[in-house]
Amino acid sequence: MTIEPPVPGEPRRPHGPRDPGDAWVVAPTGERYWGRFGAAGLLAVDPRRGVLLQHRVSWSHFGDTWALPGGARHEGESACDGALREAAEEAGVPEASVRPRVLSVLDLGYWSYTTVVGDVVVPFEPTISDPESRELAWVPAADVAEYPLHPGFADSWERLRALLGVRPAVIVDIANVIGAVPDGWWRDRPAAATRLISRLSDLGADGLPASALDLPEHTWYPEWTAVVEGQARTVDDAAGIEVVRAEASGDDAIVETADRAVAEGRRVAVVTSDRGLAERVTDAGAAVRGARWLLDLLEG
Protein backbone atom coordinates (compact mmCIF):
# COMPACT_ATOMS: atom_id res chain seq x y z
CA MET A 1 0.00 0.00 0.00
CA THR A 2 1.33 3.46 -0.91
CA ILE A 3 0.40 6.21 1.52
CA GLU A 4 1.75 9.69 0.97
CA PRO A 5 3.03 11.55 4.02
CA PRO A 6 0.74 14.27 5.38
CA VAL A 7 1.15 17.87 4.37
CA PRO A 8 3.08 20.07 6.84
CA GLY A 9 1.04 20.95 9.89
CA GLU A 10 -1.32 18.00 9.60
CA PRO A 11 -1.19 15.01 11.99
CA ARG A 12 0.67 12.02 10.64
CA ARG A 13 -1.55 9.15 9.60
CA PRO A 14 -0.79 5.45 10.15
CA HIS A 15 1.41 3.84 7.52
CA GLY A 16 1.61 0.36 6.14
CA PRO A 17 5.06 -1.13 5.52
CA ARG A 18 7.17 1.22 3.46
CA ASP A 19 8.31 0.24 -0.02
CA PRO A 20 11.61 1.76 -1.28
CA GLY A 21 9.56 3.54 -3.94
CA ASP A 22 7.55 5.46 -1.32
CA ALA A 23 9.65 8.60 -1.29
CA TRP A 24 9.68 12.10 -2.74
CA VAL A 25 11.64 13.08 -5.82
CA VAL A 26 12.74 16.71 -5.76
CA ALA A 27 12.97 18.50 -9.09
CA PRO A 28 15.89 20.84 -9.89
CA THR A 29 13.44 23.72 -9.46
CA GLY A 30 12.30 22.48 -6.04
CA GLU A 31 8.93 20.84 -6.81
CA ARG A 32 8.29 17.50 -5.16
CA TYR A 33 6.89 14.43 -6.90
CA TRP A 34 5.78 11.26 -5.12
CA GLY A 35 7.44 8.00 -6.14
CA ARG A 36 11.15 7.28 -6.23
CA PHE A 37 10.64 5.01 -9.27
CA GLY A 38 7.89 7.12 -10.76
CA ALA A 39 4.16 6.79 -10.23
CA ALA A 40 1.17 5.39 -12.09
CA GLY A 41 -2.61 5.67 -11.98
CA LEU A 42 -5.59 3.92 -13.52
CA LEU A 43 -8.21 5.68 -15.63
CA ALA A 44 -10.89 2.97 -15.63
CA VAL A 45 -13.50 3.51 -18.34
CA ASP A 46 -16.96 1.99 -17.99
CA PRO A 47 -19.10 2.43 -21.14
CA ARG A 48 -22.25 3.10 -19.08
CA ARG A 49 -21.01 4.86 -15.94
CA GLY A 50 -18.05 6.94 -17.05
CA VAL A 51 -14.59 7.06 -15.46
CA LEU A 52 -13.60 6.15 -11.91
CA LEU A 53 -12.37 9.07 -9.79
CA GLN A 54 -10.99 9.21 -6.26
CA HIS A 55 -11.77 12.06 -3.84
CA ARG A 56 -8.53 12.46 -1.92
CA VAL A 57 -8.46 13.07 1.85
CA SER A 58 -7.56 16.55 3.03
CA TRP A 59 -4.24 15.55 4.63
CA SER A 60 -2.79 14.11 1.41
CA HIS A 61 -0.71 16.06 -1.11
CA PHE A 62 -3.15 18.43 -2.89
CA GLY A 63 -5.82 17.04 -0.60
CA ASP A 64 -9.57 17.38 -1.06
CA THR A 65 -9.22 17.18 -4.84
CA TRP A 66 -10.35 14.52 -7.29
CA ALA A 67 -7.93 12.39 -9.27
CA LEU A 68 -7.24 8.80 -10.28
CA PRO A 69 -6.48 5.86 -8.00
CA GLY A 70 -2.71 5.55 -8.19
CA GLY A 71 0.60 6.03 -6.46
CA ALA A 72 4.27 5.23 -6.35
CA ARG A 73 5.61 2.34 -8.40
CA HIS A 74 7.71 -0.36 -6.77
CA GLU A 75 11.26 -0.98 -7.89
CA GLY A 76 11.25 -3.04 -11.09
CA GLU A 77 7.46 -2.83 -11.38
CA SER A 78 5.94 -1.99 -14.76
CA ALA A 79 3.74 1.06 -14.95
CA CYS A 80 0.77 -1.09 -15.93
CA ASP A 81 1.23 -3.45 -12.98
CA GLY A 82 1.76 -0.51 -10.62
CA ALA A 83 -1.42 1.26 -11.71
CA LEU A 84 -3.53 -1.88 -11.38
CA ARG A 85 -2.01 -2.71 -7.97
CA GLU A 86 -2.66 0.79 -6.65
CA ALA A 87 -6.22 0.74 -7.99
CA ALA A 88 -6.83 -2.52 -6.16
CA GLU A 89 -5.36 -1.14 -2.93
CA GLU A 90 -7.09 2.25 -3.02
CA ALA A 91 -10.38 1.53 -4.77
CA GLY A 92 -10.91 -2.21 -4.50
CA VAL A 93 -10.65 -2.69 -8.27
CA PRO A 94 -10.80 -6.48 -8.74
CA GLU A 95 -8.08 -8.31 -10.59
CA ALA A 96 -8.95 -8.91 -14.26
CA SER A 97 -11.88 -6.47 -14.18
CA VAL A 98 -10.01 -3.91 -16.28
CA ARG A 99 -8.28 -4.46 -19.62
CA PRO A 100 -5.48 -1.94 -20.42
CA ARG A 101 -6.02 -0.01 -23.65
CA VAL A 102 -3.30 2.64 -23.74
CA LEU A 103 -0.44 3.96 -21.59
CA SER A 104 0.09 7.73 -21.55
CA VAL A 105 3.39 8.83 -20.01
CA LEU A 106 4.44 12.20 -18.59
CA ASP A 107 8.23 11.93 -18.46
CA LEU A 108 10.12 14.79 -16.80
CA GLY A 109 13.47 13.03 -17.01
CA TYR A 110 13.91 12.80 -13.24
CA TRP A 111 10.36 11.52 -12.60
CA SER A 112 7.51 10.05 -14.63
CA TYR A 113 3.80 9.46 -14.24
CA THR A 114 2.01 6.86 -16.35
CA THR A 115 -1.75 6.90 -16.81
CA VAL A 116 -3.13 3.49 -17.73
CA VAL A 117 -6.41 3.93 -19.61
CA GLY A 118 -8.28 0.66 -19.16
CA ASP A 119 -11.67 -0.68 -20.23
CA VAL A 120 -13.92 -2.25 -17.61
CA VAL A 121 -14.60 -5.77 -18.90
CA VAL A 122 -16.23 -7.07 -15.70
CA PRO A 123 -18.42 -4.43 -13.98
CA PHE A 124 -17.62 -3.78 -10.31
CA GLU A 125 -18.43 -1.38 -7.51
CA PRO A 126 -15.38 0.45 -6.15
CA THR A 127 -14.75 0.30 -2.42
CA ILE A 128 -12.71 2.58 -0.15
CA SER A 129 -9.98 0.25 0.99
CA ASP A 130 -7.28 2.55 2.39
CA PRO A 131 -7.06 5.87 4.29
CA GLU A 132 -6.29 8.00 1.21
CA SER A 133 -9.84 8.08 -0.17
CA ARG A 134 -12.79 10.16 1.02
CA GLU A 135 -15.02 9.04 -1.81
CA LEU A 136 -14.99 7.01 -5.01
CA ALA A 137 -17.35 7.76 -7.87
CA TRP A 138 -18.12 6.94 -11.49
CA VAL A 139 -18.21 10.28 -13.29
CA PRO A 140 -19.35 10.87 -16.89
CA ALA A 141 -16.42 12.08 -18.97
CA ALA A 142 -18.32 15.25 -19.88
CA ASP A 143 -18.59 16.17 -16.18
CA VAL A 144 -15.02 15.52 -15.00
CA ALA A 145 -13.76 19.07 -15.60
CA GLU A 146 -16.48 20.43 -13.29
CA TYR A 147 -14.86 18.76 -10.26
CA PRO A 148 -12.02 20.32 -8.22
CA LEU A 149 -9.24 18.25 -9.77
CA HIS A 150 -5.72 17.48 -8.60
CA PRO A 151 -3.50 19.94 -10.57
CA GLY A 152 -1.59 17.17 -12.34
CA PHE A 153 -4.77 15.41 -13.39
CA ALA A 154 -6.36 18.70 -14.44
CA ASP A 155 -3.39 19.45 -16.71
CA SER A 156 -3.66 16.06 -18.42
CA TRP A 157 -7.43 15.52 -18.50
CA GLU A 158 -8.24 16.96 -21.94
CA ARG A 159 -5.37 15.01 -23.50
CA LEU A 160 -6.56 11.82 -21.78
CA ARG A 161 -10.18 12.46 -22.69
CA ALA A 162 -9.21 12.59 -26.37
CA LEU A 163 -7.95 8.99 -26.07
CA LEU A 164 -11.23 7.60 -24.75
CA GLY A 165 -12.74 7.37 -28.22
CA VAL A 166 -9.76 5.54 -29.73
CA ARG A 167 -10.29 1.77 -29.48
CA PRO A 168 -7.83 -0.17 -31.65
CA ALA A 169 -8.42 -3.77 -32.72
CA VAL A 170 -6.25 -6.16 -34.73
CA ILE A 171 -7.78 -9.11 -36.57
CA VAL A 172 -5.28 -11.73 -37.77
CA ASP A 173 -5.78 -14.03 -40.74
CA ILE A 174 -3.94 -16.90 -39.07
CA ALA A 175 -3.78 -19.16 -42.15
CA ASN A 176 -2.30 -16.38 -44.27
CA VAL A 177 0.35 -15.38 -41.74
CA ILE A 178 1.38 -19.00 -41.16
CA GLY A 179 1.63 -19.55 -44.90
CA ALA A 180 4.04 -16.64 -45.25
CA VAL A 181 6.85 -18.63 -43.60
CA PRO A 182 7.84 -21.99 -45.22
CA ASP A 183 8.74 -23.72 -41.96
CA GLY A 184 6.84 -26.97 -42.46
CA TRP A 185 3.57 -25.65 -41.06
CA TRP A 186 1.62 -27.87 -43.48
CA ARG A 187 2.65 -30.96 -41.58
CA ASP A 188 0.65 -29.90 -38.50
CA ARG A 189 -1.62 -26.92 -39.09
CA PRO A 190 -3.19 -26.88 -35.59
CA ALA A 191 0.23 -26.87 -33.93
CA ALA A 192 1.46 -24.07 -36.20
CA ALA A 193 -1.65 -22.01 -35.47
CA THR A 194 -1.30 -22.61 -31.73
CA ARG A 195 2.32 -21.43 -31.80
CA LEU A 196 1.39 -18.25 -33.65
CA ILE A 197 -1.51 -17.44 -31.35
CA SER A 198 0.73 -17.99 -28.31
CA ARG A 199 3.20 -15.48 -29.76
CA LEU A 200 0.35 -13.04 -30.35
CA SER A 201 -0.54 -13.37 -26.67
CA ASP A 202 3.01 -12.40 -25.68
CA LEU A 203 2.99 -9.48 -28.12
CA GLY A 204 -0.37 -8.30 -26.82
CA ALA A 205 0.91 -8.28 -23.25
CA ASP A 206 3.80 -6.00 -24.24
CA GLY A 207 1.71 -3.47 -26.16
CA LEU A 208 2.44 -1.81 -29.50
CA PRO A 209 4.07 1.51 -30.31
CA ALA A 210 1.80 4.14 -31.82
CA SER A 211 3.68 4.01 -35.13
CA ALA A 212 2.65 0.39 -35.68
CA LEU A 213 -1.03 1.33 -35.91
CA ASP A 214 -0.89 5.00 -36.92
CA LEU A 215 -2.31 6.05 -33.56
CA PRO A 216 -1.59 8.99 -31.22
CA GLU A 217 1.85 8.77 -29.66
CA HIS A 218 1.46 6.32 -26.76
CA THR A 219 1.82 2.61 -26.04
CA TRP A 220 -1.33 0.78 -27.15
CA TYR A 221 -2.93 -2.51 -26.21
CA PRO A 222 -5.31 -3.32 -29.09
CA GLU A 223 -7.94 -6.02 -28.87
CA TRP A 224 -6.53 -9.03 -30.70
CA THR A 225 -8.67 -11.51 -32.63
CA ALA A 226 -7.26 -14.61 -34.34
CA VAL A 227 -9.42 -16.18 -37.06
CA VAL A 228 -8.76 -19.86 -37.80
CA GLU A 229 -10.36 -22.29 -40.21
CA GLY A 230 -10.29 -25.95 -41.23
CA GLN A 231 -7.97 -28.21 -39.23
CA ALA A 232 -6.64 -25.24 -37.27
CA ARG A 233 -10.00 -24.80 -35.54
CA THR A 234 -8.72 -27.16 -32.82
CA VAL A 235 -6.16 -24.59 -31.64
CA ASP A 236 -5.70 -23.90 -27.95
CA ASP A 237 -6.86 -20.60 -26.48
CA ALA A 238 -4.30 -18.04 -25.32
CA ALA A 239 -4.49 -15.20 -22.81
CA GLY A 240 -5.69 -11.93 -24.25
CA ILE A 241 -6.61 -13.32 -27.67
CA GLU A 242 -10.15 -13.88 -28.92
CA VAL A 243 -10.16 -16.92 -31.17
CA VAL A 244 -12.82 -17.05 -33.90
CA ARG A 245 -13.23 -20.57 -35.31
CA ALA A 246 -14.72 -20.19 -38.79
CA GLU A 247 -17.46 -22.69 -39.51
CA ALA A 248 -16.91 -22.32 -43.27
CA SER A 249 -14.89 -19.69 -45.12
CA GLY A 250 -12.16 -18.07 -43.05
CA ASP A 251 -12.30 -14.98 -45.27
CA ASP A 252 -16.02 -14.57 -44.64
CA ALA A 253 -15.45 -14.88 -40.89
CA ILE A 254 -12.74 -12.21 -41.02
CA VAL A 255 -14.98 -9.81 -42.93
CA GLU A 256 -17.85 -10.40 -40.51
CA THR A 257 -15.56 -9.83 -37.52
CA ALA A 258 -14.18 -6.63 -39.07
CA ASP A 259 -17.68 -5.38 -39.90
CA ARG A 260 -18.80 -5.89 -36.32
CA ALA A 261 -15.72 -4.22 -34.81
CA VAL A 262 -16.00 -1.18 -37.10
CA ALA A 263 -19.71 -0.86 -36.25
CA GLU A 264 -18.78 -0.84 -32.55
CA GLY A 265 -16.48 2.13 -33.10
CA ARG A 266 -13.14 0.35 -33.04
CA ARG A 267 -10.19 1.36 -35.21
CA VAL A 268 -9.60 -1.94 -36.98
CA ALA A 269 -6.53 -3.34 -38.71
CA VAL A 270 -6.73 -6.71 -40.48
CA VAL A 271 -3.49 -8.63 -40.92
CA THR A 272 -3.46 -10.46 -44.25
CA SER A 273 -1.53 -10.52 -47.50
CA ASP A 274 -4.50 -11.88 -49.44
CA ARG A 275 -5.40 -9.15 -51.96
CA GLY A 276 -9.01 -10.19 -52.38
CA LEU A 277 -9.61 -10.26 -48.62
CA ALA A 278 -7.75 -6.95 -48.23
CA GLU A 279 -10.18 -5.30 -50.65
CA ARG A 280 -13.19 -6.71 -48.79
CA VAL A 281 -12.11 -5.53 -45.34
CA THR A 282 -11.06 -2.14 -46.72
CA ASP A 283 -14.59 -1.73 -48.06
CA ALA A 284 -15.82 -2.57 -44.54
CA GLY A 285 -13.82 0.36 -43.12
CA ALA A 286 -10.77 -1.50 -41.80
CA ALA A 287 -7.10 -0.84 -42.49
CA VAL A 288 -4.86 -3.63 -43.76
CA ARG A 289 -1.42 -4.74 -42.62
CA GLY A 290 0.51 -7.42 -44.49
CA ALA A 291 1.73 -10.63 -42.90
CA ARG A 292 5.31 -9.29 -42.89
CA TRP A 293 4.19 -6.38 -40.69
CA LEU A 294 3.12 -8.79 -37.98
CA LEU A 295 6.10 -11.12 -38.42
CA ASP A 296 8.48 -8.17 -38.01
CA LEU A 297 6.72 -7.18 -34.76
CA LEU A 298 6.96 -10.75 -33.46
CA GLU A 299 10.62 -11.05 -34.38
CA GLY A 300 11.37 -7.65 -32.88
**What is the DSSP code string of 27-69?**
-TTS-EEE-BTBEEEEEEEETTTEEEEEEE-TTSTTTT-EE-S
In the chain, which ranges are E strands?
24-26, 32-34, 39-46, 50-56, 66-67, 70-72, 98-107, 112-120, 133-139, 168-173, 208-209, 219-220, 223-228, 241-245, 267-271, 287-289
Inside any domain, residue 255: yes
Q: How confident is the model at residue 220 (pLDDT cuts 50, 70, 90)?
A: very high
- In this prediction the pTM is 0.87
Q: 94 lies in which domain range?
A: 24-163
Angle between helices 250-263 and 275-283 (to 10 degrees): 30
Residue 59 has pLDDT above 90, yes or no: no
- pLDDT tens, position by position, 156-169: 999 999 999 999 99
Number of domains in the chain: 2
Of 148, 163, 178, the residue that ends a domain is 163
Residue 16: pLDDT band with limits 50, 70, 90: low
Q: What is the mean pLDDT of residues 129-157?
A: 93
Shared domain for 70 and 147, answered yes or no, is: yes
95 lies in a domain? yes
Residue 203: give its domain's CATH number: 3.40.50
